[in-house]
A and B are shown apart, each in its own frame.
Chain A
């Protein structure tokens, strides 16, 4: 049942699969750092801290099992980035994959962009399931035949072979960023893409690796005056001239590339005035936007700051149209969260296929589904305990203080090391991928 996803009746989520090691000992290199479905939803890519990309493929649907959608199995694994050493600064460059973005499919091969802190790579993932046999001048194992021994000619033919998935780097876009790349976004024109670091945004052409255009530069002349950095950037899904970038001060700027070559001057500035009653020393830190995503229809955008998710109408700049609290119970704990650095965690958020539900992660392996149309929200947990096949996920509740009811978890028992930063939603179906520290959980909608 290929519903558009979300909304309507209550959606019950159930466990489908979990990928990754079972034991609690987490190898640093296995920590998942990004998750992304491709445009059809057939492929699911994950990047980890060790620089590897693992792609899962949805098996073609079994007609007889229409009640249950197919599972995702490993399709390809490759090492995308290697650790490097910057000799000028004497600093290591991590190989951690910060973002993966798929290109729309144009032919049989799949293309994706993966980036670490400094370098972006375009990978081609292609299948090979046939090979040519019957060459005249070569043996089957590849050795050349002596031309004198050839007496007859034959036509080589393709014979089927075991499926082999090859990943090859087609382009390497390097040396364009002084600071750490935090976002990449493919343009709707399928020719260009942007990469954003802390202070600059560059525009690239997919075919050209030795040049990129700088379109946003917020580096002050005097670094001492630096108070704001870029935290995320994205192209508009339909308008190839429009992109947005968010900052650490809680503002989002929409820029039009037709206006000028350098888009330092924004076309629109989205900022919500601060609530004076909630002001504290941490106000600025928790207002820093960690992720910005356009809706699929291009009318709205969603931003994630530390405690809330905000939906903005692109036509209204002075305040968001909707605000959802993700974990308001943490507001009184900000000092401790600052102390253990959790306040700097960058949570991502995502839309469902028809923009009716949004999802984001939280601590203790909780994630939140916020239904815009029904104004309802639910907290679910990705844990090993609810790993029985097709087990329906039970909503979780956190009690902020006072009397703790049964089945509730108190704020103090939350595990702040178990955080869900990366989530992804299938573009057409109700299938979600949720990344805990080193496991990838796939949940599907329960179909009756």
Chain B
């Protein structure tokens, strides 16, 4: 009925073989591009680890962890024909799948139904099984596309000015995925995981964190800090007028899911200001909890701001009035030398030159050293400014 995909192949073997991607529900013929496959596999690895981390965090926060759900999901995936979960190594999986669910998948696309994983029940009917499989496949692939897009946005920083058209198109794609994820409620689902007191900033950060996906010892280019920055930095950092940057990274790597998040980003006043400032342009859900709306709104406003950061590079900053002249003064002598690609890729531990990206990175509350440890430093605004001054003066 369906093509058996390779099971249990070693990593090099899989890399050499073909990976079938199902995007439109049609059984697409295989397409061999080795780098693409490797990237996707890496992303899939991250996806899986992300999922694991999510579960661990739930435990940390004392939230009910649907362990049964997780394992049953895995079992389900393993047992289905045509959808093999290949074990590449310890804790590492990738999906090699074909799907003939053209009809149902397309239906899902067009209807935009909110899909929910069936709750930890092992005895599931075939239909929902198939639906869940397809749904997880689709959302996983969508996630990979999102990750891929964010990597592309990041890697724009070369010696020559990046192609604006390409960046705009990628950014629009990211926005589109975010909107869809918001509609789907998958955004909300992830946000829920971190919902302790339903605190807006942490929810927001979670939203960004889902996109963030990076770890401390990440050898890959950081998936991005574009979105994460925007979320929390609008008031502090003069927007792309005076500072150009897509600030990559390092901050993101330090802000990881290991439980510090909620505490680190506890700036309700920040979120309040931000909410007032930005016109919420994208998807809106009419009803629902306040927090849910907040998350979603913020998720959608994140992208426009994201774009601002991305396109900030293309501007020469010269005296266009920022929101805060005091902050402008602070940054008036920032060295705008371009961001060193090597540094970015290796995770900018201690950049020799303080480029604009460096400034922004050092603005992260939890970032004084690469290894973030236990005490989450929640600073007030004033402390933030002091911190900034320290850095500038100190360099």
Q: Which residues of A are in contact with B by a Cβ distance under 8 Å?
A: 86, 88-94, 117, 178-180, 198-199, 222-229, 231, 248, 276, 279-282, 284-285, 288, 332-336, 338-341, 344, 401, 411-412
Partner of B314, one of A178, A344, A412: A178
The interface residues of chain B lying within 8 Å CB-to-CB of A86 are: 161
Q: State the CA gap A179–B314 with chains docked (Å).
A: 7
Docked-complex contact B338 and A227, CB < 8 angstroms: no
- Asked if B23 lies at the interface with its beta carbon under 8 angstroms from chain A, I say yes
Q: State the CA gap A332–B315 with chains docked (Å).
A: 37
Interface positions of B from 204 to 257, Cβ below 8 Å from A: 239-240, 244
The interface residues of chain B lying within 8 Å CB-to-CB of A178 are: 314-316
For A279, give the chain B residue with the smallest CB separation.
B109
Chosen A-B contacts, 15 in total, with CB atoms closer than 8 Å, are A89-B161, A180-B164, A198-B165, A199-B164, A223-B312, A224-B240, A224-B309, A226-B307, A226-B311, A280-B23, A281-B173, A282-B173, A335-B23, A335-B145, A338-B148
Given that A198-B164, A339-B39 are contacting pairs, would A248 and B311 also be in contact in the complex, using a CB cutoff of 8 Å?
no
Q: State the CA gap A282–B170 with chains docked (Å).
A: 10
Partner of A229, one of B165, B240, B309, B337: B165
Q: State the CA gap A335–B33 with chains docked (Å).
A: 11
- Asked if B8 lies at the interface with its beta carbon under 8 angstroms from chain A, I say no
Interface positions of B from 155 to 185, Cβ below 8 Å from A: 159-161, 163-166, 168-169, 171-173, 176-177
Given that A89-B338, A223-B312, A284-B172 are contacting pairs, would A229 and B164 also be in contact in the complex, using a CB cutoff of 8 Å?
yes
Docked-complex contact A222 and B308, CB < 8 angstroms: yes
Give the 3 A-B residue pairs with the shortest CB-CB distance, closest first: A224-B308, A339-B36, A198-B164
Docked-complex contact A340 and B36, CB < 8 angstroms: yes
CB distance from A287 to the nearest CB of B (A): 10
Q: State the CA gap A41–B39 with chains docked (Å).
A: 48
CB distance from B334 to the nearest CB of A (A): 12
- Asked if B46 lies at the interface with its beta carbon under 8 angstroms from chain A, I say no
Partner of A332, one of B29, B169, B311: B29
CB distance from A49 to the nearest CB of B (A): 12
Q: State the CA gap A334–B33 with chains docked (Å).
A: 13
B297-331 interface bits toward A, Cβ cutoff 8 Å, 1 = contact, 0 = none? 00000001111110110111000000000000000
Docked-complex contact B173 and A248, CB < 8 angstroms: no
For B281, give the chain A residue with the smallest CB separation.
A225
Interface positions of B from 19 to 38, Cβ below 8 Å from A: 21, 23-24, 26, 28-33, 35-36
CB distance from A196 to the nearest CB of B (A): 12
Docked-complex contact A340 and B33, CB < 8 angstroms: yes
Docked-complex contact A336 and B31, CB < 8 angstroms: yes
- Asked if B186 lies at the interface with its beta carbon under 8 angstroms from chain A, I say no
Interface positions of B from 137 to 163, Cβ below 8 Å from A: 142, 145, 148, 152, 159-161, 163
Docked-complex contact B169 and A90, CB < 8 angstroms: no
CB distance from A209 to the nearest CB of B (A): 22
Docked-complex contact B338 and A180, CB < 8 angstroms: no
- Asked if B336 lies at the interface with its beta carbon under 8 angstroms from chain A, I say yes
The interface residues of chain B lying within 8 Å CB-to-CB of A228 are: 168
Docked-complex contact B168 and A227, CB < 8 angstroms: yes
Q: State the CA gap A224–B237 with chains docked (Å).
A: 14
Q: Which residues of B are in contact with A by a Cβ distance under 8 Å?
A: 21, 23-24, 26, 28-33, 35-36, 39-40, 109-110, 142, 145, 148, 152, 159-161, 163-166, 168-169, 171-173, 176-177, 239-240, 244, 304-309, 311-312, 314-316, 336-338
The interface residues of chain A lying within 8 Å CB-to-CB of B29 are: 332, 401, 411-412
For A288, give the chain B residue with the smallest CB separation.
B169
Number of A-B residue pairs with CB-CB distance less than 8 Å in the complex they form: 127
For B180, give the chain A residue with the smallest CB separation.
A281
Partner of B31, one of A88, A225, A412: A412
The interface residues of chain A lying within 8 Å CB-to-CB of B164 are: 179-180, 198-199, 229
Partner of B304, one of A225, A281, A284, A344: A225
Docked-complex contact A88 and B316, CB < 8 angstroms: yes
For B35, give the chain A residue with the smallest CB separation.
A340
Docked-complex contact B311 and A224, CB < 8 angstroms: yes
Given that A285-B173, A340-B33 are contacting pairs, would A226 and B168 also be in contact in the complex, using a CB cutoff of 8 Å?
yes
The interface residues of chain A lying within 8 Å CB-to-CB of B304 are: 224-225
Given that A91-B338, A92-B160, A339-B33 are contacting pairs, would A224 and B305 also be in contact in the complex, using a CB cutoff of 8 Å?
yes
The interface residues of chain B lying within 8 Å CB-to-CB of A180 are: 161, 163-164
The interface residues of chain A lying within 8 Å CB-to-CB of B142 are: 281
CB distance from A186 to the nearest CB of B (A): 23
Q: State the CA gap A332–B22 with chains docked (Å).
A: 9
The interface residues of chain A lying within 8 Å CB-to-CB of B315 are: 178, 223
The interface residues of chain A lying within 8 Å CB-to-CB of B30 are: 412
Given that A178-B316, A224-B305, A339-B148 are contacting pairs, would A334 and B161 also be in contact in the complex, using a CB cutoff of 8 Å?
no
Q: State the CA gap A228–B172 with chains docked (Å).
A: 9
Given that A89-B338, A180-B163, A335-B23 are contacting pairs, would A248 and B307 also be in contact in the complex, using a CB cutoff of 8 Å?
no
Docked-complex contact A91 and B161, CB < 8 angstroms: yes
Docked-complex contact A412 and B32, CB < 8 angstroms: yes
CB distance from B332 to the nearest CB of A (A): 15
Q: State the CA gap A228–B169 with chains docked (Å).
A: 8
For B109, give the chain A residue with the smallest CB separation.
A279
Q: State the CA gap A88–B32 with chains docked (Å).
A: 42
Q: State the CA gap A178–B159 with chains docked (Å).
A: 17
For A197, give the chain B residue with the smallest CB separation.
B164
The interface residues of chain B lying within 8 Å CB-to-CB of A92 are: 159-161
The interface residues of chain B lying within 8 Å CB-to-CB of A179 are: 164, 314
Docked-complex contact B163 and A91, CB < 8 angstroms: no
Docked-complex contact B165 and A288, CB < 8 angstroms: yes
CB distance from B278 to the nearest CB of A (A): 9
Given that A178-B316, A335-B145 are contacting pairs, would A227 and B26 also be in contact in the complex, using a CB cutoff of 8 Å?
no
Q: State the CA gap A91–B21 with chains docked (Å).
A: 38
The interface residues of chain B lying within 8 Å CB-to-CB of A227 are: 168, 171-172, 307
CB distance from B168 to the nearest CB of A (A): 5
Given that A332-B26, A335-B21, A338-B148 are contacting pairs, would A90 and B36 also be in contact in the complex, using a CB cutoff of 8 Å?
no
The interface residues of chain B lying within 8 Å CB-to-CB of A276 are: 110
For B30, give the chain A residue with the smallest CB separation.
A412
The interface residues of chain A lying within 8 Å CB-to-CB of B161 are: 86, 89, 91-93, 117, 180
The interface residues of chain A lying within 8 Å CB-to-CB of B152 are: 341
The interface residues of chain A lying within 8 Å CB-to-CB of B148 are: 338-339
Q: State the CA gap A285–B174 with chains docked (Å).
A: 12
Q: State the CA gap A223–B307 with chains docked (Å).
A: 7
Q: State the CA gap A282–B149 with chains docked (Å).
A: 11
CB distance from A197 to the nearest CB of B (A): 9
Q: State the CA gap A180–B239 with chains docked (Å).
A: 23
